[in-house]
Amino acid sequence: MTTLQAGTIAFLLNLCFVSCQIFNIEEYGAVGDGITDNTLAFFKTMTACSEAGGGQVFIPSGTFLTNPFEIVSDIVFFMDAGSSIIAYEEPNKWPSSSKCLICGTQLNNVTLTGLGVIDGRGSSWWLNPSQERPSILVIEKSSNLIINGITLQNSPMYHIVPSKCVNIEIFNIKILAPPSPMSHNTDGIDPEECQNVHIHDCYISNGDDNVAIKNGCKDILIENCIFDNGHGASIGSITEDTVSNITFRGITFNNTENGARVKSQPG
């Protein structure tokens, strides 16, 4: 049994406990009309979940507009069919310091799952590619992360960024953005300084690297995925530290600029 498998099994056993407590965002003031700002409702829901020691945060059917918010440990973030979380389209409505729509740091036991859509609505950001732009999901310095079932689309920048994390499984998700140059730098999944990562059975069609393995990663397996449009499977370009034991297998490339490539500079 690999370390990743052992971590996943331990986490699934933990779900048997935390999933018993359900925190519906509508009970904390969320309104899924696509107009109401739900940032405070997400904050209140996450606070209640954290204070209870974990649980399931439930996103019902509806369109929930929000500014950036943070998730917590010991959480199952479940998006029901017909649910969507949308960002503000206008860059000036985002907080100036934002680097992600959904953020988390120093977390343990986090699952994002369901049948919903997280939409970064990044088209206005793409008009100014030199501008610093936020990603949809950034998780840092965390362990036991599972992402499955959901769709992430139209990020202003990258879609999923795990950084300095261990034990990650990402499967059966979709990542969607227009092809380059319309949505430049909308990478799909960009692990950085991560260990024990399994990405499988995903469909990724975007405007830059479908998956890019960055600085300091090791023990990464990407398999049985479809990469459509995009720039393909990349190692680098940010690899100041060594990357090791990186495997891509069973990948279907449709309309990508490259298959697999190493972008790091020599030396």
Which ranges of the chain does DSSP label H, i.e. alpha helix?
3-18, 39-51, 123-126
Rg of the chain over CA atoms, in angstroms? 18
159 in catalytic set:
no
CA–CA separation, 221 vs 236, rounded Å? Answer: 16
DSSP state of 78: E
* Three-state DSSP state, 114: strand
| Exposure letters 112-150 (e unless 16+ CB within 10 A, then b) | bbbebbbbbbbeebbeeeeeebbbbbbbbebbbbbbbbb
Q: Are 45 and 28 in contact (CB under 8 A)?
A: yes
Q: Are 152 and 181 in contact (CB under 8 A)?
A: no
The Cα diameter of the chain in Å comes to 55
CA–CA separation, 57 vs 108, rounded Å? Answer: 15
Residue the block writes with tokens 């965002």: 25
Question: Is the bond preceding residue 181 a cis peptide, omega within 30 degrees?
Answer: yes
- List all residues 6 or more positions away from 233 whose beta carbon is below 8 Å from its beta carbon: 209, 210, 211, 222, 227, 248, 251, 253, 258, 259, 260, 261
231 in catalytic set:
yes
Q: Which of 187, 190, 208, 228 is catalytic?
A: 208
Residues assigned a catalytic role: 208, 231
